[in-house]
Structure 1
Amino acid sequence: MSGIAGFEDQRVVVADGVALNVAVGGTGEPIVLLHGFPQTHLMWRHVAVELAQDHTVICPDLRGYGDSDKPVEAGEDTYSKRTMAADTVAVAKALGFERFALVGHDRGALVAFRAAMDHPDTITHLASLDVLPTLDMWSVMQGTSAAVGFHLYLMAQPPGLAETMIAASSDAFFGYFLDLWVKDPAAIPAEVRTAYLEACRAAVPSIVADYRASAGIDVRHDEADLKAGRKLTMPVSVVQQDWGSALGFDAAARWRAWAPDLVHGTTASGHFMAEESPQEITEVIRNLLKR
């Protein structure tokens, strides 16, 4: 399947010879868009084209996903959000940008959060779509309500079991989330769904490693920041489904503890909001950039 209309695909080496597949389009001030699970940079195909009218838009496949390299998990840090955040900064720098706005969805939003914490002088604005920071995510997953996050616990296990189970029926596993989390199935047409499933099928070990890191080293990084009193210093916009109410916690308060300059909102869209409601998400990003 072709990439985003009007965008050029590039290979950008970030660290230790790891190369990321990156789609780049437009001209102007830079915005980096990071995709979620179980997707690739293709999830930004609508939003990216709109933003490229007056910005340089950079859409990488995260390491371990899509057409980016999938290094073997050599330790916790291989797929830590700190490492993936450094990848993001390296991609922008290789393309000539020392500072940029950053938007992330799902897994990409966790990477974006870490990039904003670790590189506050580099990230000018931060937008997060449909996640909590890693430490808070684990904190609110309690009791039977945690069943909605069963995949988090499965992929948190030591190497071996999750990879074997998922690889045995990868299309069913990843397709389950594409079906469960979407409110408008037409937003993910058959050819896009096929592209996502093919990409995930080829990336089971690295996707599991990404999730495993979120149950270990990523939590420790958040805990260290919390203990040190570090905050997000840039303007932050968060858009989420209203699952805070459904699961019994205040999502806006959770985010405000990290982000003093916060605009928090909910959406009637499903989880894949950049595909289901691209105009809404484009407007959120443009409003963020005005702050």
Structure 2
Amino acid sequence: MERGAPVDGFRLAYDRLGSGDPVVLLHGWPGDHTDYRRVLPLLSDGCEVVVPDLRGFGASDRHPADPEQQYDARAQARGVAGLIEELGLDRPVLAGYDIGSRIAQAVARDHPGLVRALVVAPPLPGIGDRILQPRAQREFWYQSFHQLALAEELLDGDPVALRAYLRHFWNHWSGPSFTLDEAALEHLVTVYGPPGAFSASIAWYRAGAGAVAASLGEVPPGAGDRIAVPATVLWPEHDPLFPRSWSDRLSGFFADVSVESVAGAGHFIPVEAPSRFAAAIRRVLERPGWAYGRN
């Protein structure tokens, strides 16, 4: 992987392949840039694709820092925006799921001139206090757990414990026909297993950027302050975290948004439904006016 220039003292590692229309792909938790291993072959013909490890993940820098200053969505967005500018990407399509979705939205909100369009999966705004429903809280327990020092004591630097922990999420959040292969799981254990790596990955939650904190703190913007970058939302059928009914308020947060249901898929759309994910990106690139929107 290559490494970008530092932003806030953090350098992002990234893969870059193909040529053509620019696309940036942002991974989720618990994952890394390899979340897009099945999407890349579907885009590399005709697209220049950049896939970073986010700040605190994988081969990118992780530093002890105030989570609220350096690991929340806006801080992560600064890093992604810096990489887009450094690489000279001309208004890429920015795509992501899980925390990558939140970060993509933050880039579109804070740096709208850098991005042509979004292709994202949950989480999305509009959930509000529905996240406190008993069913939801049974799923989001891990976000409270990640606030505790106990999480580090039990998991950080312990590959055996981490293997069981990571397997739980990939099995429980995925659709009924998906099983994470052992090689992919072992890769994630090598990424999250070194001392300090797991702790850095949960700095996102300690920054108050998780779905529970974000949903309870959200305030619908005025019409002129909605995210103006066009957004395509891919909503999976079997995501236990984010039921399809929670897509009902998106128009209050986006000026231009469309929602597509992805049958059979769970939370990990780029891994479970790579063809649908890539096809949505290609449809955005093929929209009339794309060539005119580029600088």
Same fold (TM over 0.5): yes
Would you say the 8 A contact 1:27–1:56 is kept in 2?
yes
TM-superposed deviation, 1:18? 1.5
Structure with greater strand share of residues: 1
Mapped partners of 1:153, 1:99: distance in 2:
37
- One-letter code of the match for 2:134? T
User: Percent sequence identity over matched residues?
Assistant: 26
CA gap 1:242/1:205 in 2 versus in 1, 3 angstroms: same
Q: How does 1:1-291 map to 2 (within 5 A)?
A: 9-133=1-125, 136-137=126-127, 139-145=129-135, 146-155=137-146, 157=147, 160-167=149-156, 169-183=161-175, 184-186=177-179, 188-202=180-194, 203-213=197-207, 214=209, 219=214, 223=218, 226=221, 230-242=225-237, 250-267=245-262, 268-291=264-287
Would you say the 8 A contact 1:235–1:288 is kept in 2?
no
| Deviates further, 205-214 or 107-116 | 205-214
CA gap 1:246/1:224 in 2 versus in 1, 3 angstroms: closer
Consecutive unaligned residues in structure 2, runs of 5 or more: 288-295
Give RMSD over aligned pairs: 2.8
TM-superposed deviation, 1:215? 5.1
Structure 1-normalised TM-score? 0.86
- One-letter code of the match for 2:277? I
Mapped partners of 2:155, 2:240: distance in 1:
31
1:5 alignment counterpart: none
Mapped partners of 2:191, 2:58: distance in 1:
5
Mapped partners of 1:122, 1:260: distance in 2:
17
Would you say the 8 A contact 1:82–1:114 is kept in 2?
yes
CA gap 1:270/1:108 in 2 versus in 1, 3 angstroms: same
Would you say the 8 A contact 1:244–1:250 is kept in 2?
no
Q: Would you say how many aligned residue pairs link Structure 1 and Structure 2? A: 278
TM-superposed deviation, 1:105? 1.1
Task: Give the 3-state SS of the residue equivalent to 1:102 in structure 2.
Answer: strand
Mapped partners of 1:232, 1:211: distance in 2:
23
TM-superposed deviation, 1:72? 1.0
- One-letter code of the match for 1:17? G
Encode CA deviations 1:97-132: one digit per residue, 9 max, x unaligned: 252210011111110011111011111100112322
Consecutive unaligned residues in structure 1, runs of 5 or more: 1-8
Encode CA deviations 1:7-54: one digit per residue, 9 max, x unaligned: xx2111231331111000011121100001111101111212221110
Mapped partners of 2:56, 2:188: distance in 1:
13
Encode CA deviations 1:200-254: one digit per residue, 9 max, x unaligned: 22321111211122159x849x747736952111210011224699977733322
